[in-house]
Amino acid sequence: MARAWGNRLKRWVTATMDLPEDIMMDLPRITMVGQLHIYIENHKGLLAFSDKELRLMLKNGQLLVKGEDFVLKTILPEEILLEGKIESVLFLEE
């Protein structure tokens, strides 16, 4: 019950103060340029990386990016820039 009330309060504050929802709800922000680049902000850590897969921890679950010829161009504590041929982006719940 407290969690549902907390989520309603966050949504109300976000709408009232016109703040970006990803910041208030602690959600990842994902920007893709075609199938070539994906920029992910606000993740909680790198779980796995290969030339075909990227797996990141999120606040609620994981993000799985699949494709080919992956190269990490930038990796910072809460930001990642991935290049390659992106075939799918999946959210996995805990």
State the pTM of this model: 0.76
Q: pLDDT per residue over 1-44, tens digit each?
A: 566 676 676 666 666 666 555 555 678 999 999 999 999 999 99
CATH topology for the 26-92 domain:
Immunoglobulin-like (2.60.40)
Q: In Å, what is the CA distance from 40 to each residue of 2, 11, 20, 26, 57?
A: 30, 22, 16, 13, 11
pLDDT at 27: 85
Can you give the residue ranges of every domain in the chain? 26-92
- For the record, the structure tokens of 45 come out as 């850590």
Q: How does the average pLDDT of the chain come out, rounded?
A: 86
Which has the minimum average pLDDT: 8-17, 42-51, 70-79, 80-89?
Answer: 8-17
